[in-house]
Amino acid sequence: MKIKKDAETKLLMEMYERDNYMCQYCGKYVVGKQPQRAHVLSQGKYSRRMFGDAVIDSIHNWKTACSLECNNKLALNHATRPVEAQDFADKVRRLNERG
Report which secondary-structure segment, H or E, holds 38.
Answer: strand 36-39
The only residue of 7, 10, 14, 26 in contact with Zn ion, by rule CB under 5 A:
26
Q: Which of 15, 56, 70, 75 binds Zn ion (CB under 5 A)?
A: 70
The reply to whether 38 sits near Zn ion by the rule CB under 5 A is: no
Closest by CA position to 25, among listed 80, 62, 51, 79: 62
Only segment of 10-18, 19-27, 43-51, 74-82 that touches Zn ion (CB under 5 A): 19-27
Residue 22 β-bridge partners: 29
Residues in contact with Zn ion, counted by CB under 5 A, come to a total of 6
Mapping DSSP to helix (H, G, I), strand (E, B) and coil, where does residue 15 land? helix
